[in-house]
Structure 1
Amino acid sequence: MAERCKVLVTGATGFIGRVLMHVLGSRGKVCLIGAARRQVSEGVSESNIKCVGNLDALTNWSPTVIGVDVVIHTAARAHIMKDEVADPLAEYRRVNVDGTLSLARQAVAAGVKRFIFISSIKVNGEATANGKAFCADDEPAPKDAYGLSKLEAEQGLMKLAAETGMELVIIRPPLIYGPGVKGNFASMIKLVEKGLPLPLGAIHNKRSLVGIDNLVDLIIRCIDHPAAANQVFLAGDGEDLSTTELLRGVAKAMGKPARLIPVPAGLLQFGATLLGKKAMAQRLLGSLQVDISRTCELLDWKPPYTVQEGLRRCFERSN
């Protein structure tokens, strides 16, 4: 990494941002600024965090982006399973599209050289056929409001970059796991921890994941790598697991038994359909694979941790 590079990390107290801030801070090769909506979380130094309030079109970033070379934009309205707002798409657009593009325009005005945007694999879609992984240049096919908002943000950023010359890097991660993870992965951890028998012992799908340490390593590689400019990269651990394999890996990392009952996937799919849980069944039984070969080749990068190592680090750090 180049010396004397000033980096702004948005969402600095969030799931990705706090790890990114810690790793960048420990390397000591950048002048680091963090921006967050609320006060600092545990494990993040307060001295270089600025609270900017809610992320939307009206957020004033001007004092924060002055003198910054690279913006790493991790802040977003995250995917919400049971969204209770009246118009989820409008709310996602307010934060993820309007807020992102306002930040990018203010970054351009301040002379920021590179803008790294953490997007989502949901831009590509929700599922793949076994053996047919998503690629960065596939036609986007978001299926929900969150994925659509990320796509619209990408498109707006690409247009702005083309008009202004600011370098743009887009990273689309699949499900991210690590200490403090929430959502579906956290729910799965709780079930394994309780030792409950789960009817998921015969699932033969393939799903790509990315550990937080691997994702942060990739983001840091993109800060000043020449080949990263104006590219879209898919992130991943480089290993695809079935739901059965993942549950066994989680149990092993936790030092717990994996109590998995081999129920046929077709029967589970039928039951989920009857109960109105098709979306949940898709996440557990369907495949979603990403091809990171282009990421690795262009950036001369490979994930530093295997899935097994990532799971072990996840639980070692959370104990």
Structure 2
Amino acid sequence: MKVLVTGATGFIGRLVVRHLREAGAELRLASRHPERLGSENETVPMPGFDAPAAAFLELTRHMTDVVHCAGLNNDQGNATEADYQAANVELSARLAHAAAAQISGRFIHLSSIRAVIGAHVSATIDEDTLPAPQCAYGRSKREGEIKVLDAYALHGRSDAAVLRLPPVYGSGMRGNLATLMRLADTPLPLPTGALTGIRSLMSSEAAVRAVSHLLSHSGPLRPIYVGADVPPVAVEAIIAAFRRGLGRRERLMAV
């Protein structure tokens, strides 16, 4: 197995790299910051969304599989809709077309539940839930999913899959969970009335195992998968767990 991992310096990407390396896979790592990747594996710069098609063909040449972790996250406060479209839609489409034309194995595209549902909406979703993204990031993730699956369909292939992740926790996490941890790492008492809601989460280890399973299991792939730890967790419980882990008292008040 020769796997191209994009976004290899990111939160999920670096864990995917470690897992696949330990499993004995031959790796090519693509990143906007290849200098951070060391010399254990082949490292290459990630082409920009507007790079020529030849750059993406060269990126995927001699690979058997692709794990596409690269993208622009929703914690980039100054990102515009055009930025999200370039990073999450156009780049994904260009990569998928190149991969579908020449790799023999699978294309695993990491997406987000924001492609389906807004951050402040509480609802149960699955692979069949009708997507209704509520922000520029979510819209770009959904459009990226469509582009990847369409690229493979255009080449008569069905071995690409989208893995929609909920907020992922673990060392180096970002986004809303990182904000919650910063809030937890204060001595302030917090009113539970302000911490309503139930959220699905996924550990970084579980996310990586899901990627590995999709790469290696022998059955046919479905187009869409949704990952999550079971059961969902109350926001109040997330804060309490962070505080215990940080060695702080929970200090949650019923208000």
- 1:144-293 correspondence runs (5 A): 144-166=135-157, 167-200=159-192, 203-227=195-219, 229-263=221-255
Code of the aligned partner of 2:12: I
Code of the aligned partner of 2:3: V
The match for 2:43 is 50
The match for 2:32 is 37
Q: 1:27 to 1:224 in 2, by over 3 A?
A: closer
The match for 2:8 is 12
Shift of residue 128 of structure 1? Answer: 4.6
Shift of residue 9 of structure 1? Answer: 0.6
Q: 1:49 to 1:186 in 2, by over 3 A?
A: farther
Q: 1:79 to 1:49 in 2, by over 3 A?
A: farther
Q: 1:172 to 1:6 in 2, by over 3 A?
A: same
Shift of residue 20 of structure 1? Answer: 0.8
Code of the aligned partner of 2:22: S
Q: Is residue 138 of structure 1 aligned with residue 129 of structure 2? A: yes
The match for 1:63 is 58
Aligned residues: 251
1:24 to 10, 20, 23: 20
Q: 1:93 to 1:252 in 2, by over 3 A?
A: same
Q: How far, CA to CA, are the matches of 2:109 and 2:200 in structure 1?
A: 20
Conserved in 1, the CA contact under 8 Å of 2:3 and 2:66? yes
Code of the aligned partner of 2:252: L
Deviations 1:73-125 (A, max 9, x none): 00001113632x5xx11111111111011111111232343111001101111
Q: 1:54 to 1:111 in 2, by over 3 A?
A: closer
- TM-score normalised to structure 1 length: 0.73
Runs of 4+ in 1 over 6 A off after TM superposition: none
Code of the aligned partner of 1:212: S
Q: Secondary structure at the match of 1:119?
A: strand
Q: Secondary structure at the match of 2:200?
A: strand
Q: How far, CA to CA, are the matches of 1:40 and 1:26 in structure 2?
A: 21
**Structure 1 runs not aligned, ≥5 long:** 264-319
RMSD in angstroms over aligned alpha carbons?
Answer: 2.0
Q: 1:98 to 1:112 in 2, by over 3 A?
A: farther
Conserved in 1, the CA contact under 8 Å of 2:193 and 2:254? yes
Q: How far, CA to CA, are the matches of 1:208 and 1:188 in structure 2?
A: 15
2:73 to 78, 88, 111: 78
The match for 1:118 is 110
% identical equivalent positions: 29
Q: How far, CA to CA, are the matches of 1:38 and 1:69 in structure 2?
A: 23
Conserved in 2, the CA contact under 8 Å of 1:76 and 1:95? yes
Q: How far, CA to CA, are the matches of 1:56 and 1:101 in structure 2?
A: 9
Q: How far, CA to CA, are the matches of 2:182 and 2:229 in structure 1?
A: 23
Code of the aligned partner of 1:117: H
Q: How far, CA to CA, are the matches of 1:171 and 1:232 in structure 2?
A: 6
Q: Secondary structure at the match of 1:35?
A: strand
Bigger shift: residues 246-255 or 94-103: 246-255
Deviations 1:238-271 (A, max 9, x none): 12111111111112222221122222xxxxxxxx
Q: Secondary structure at the match of 1:236?
A: coil
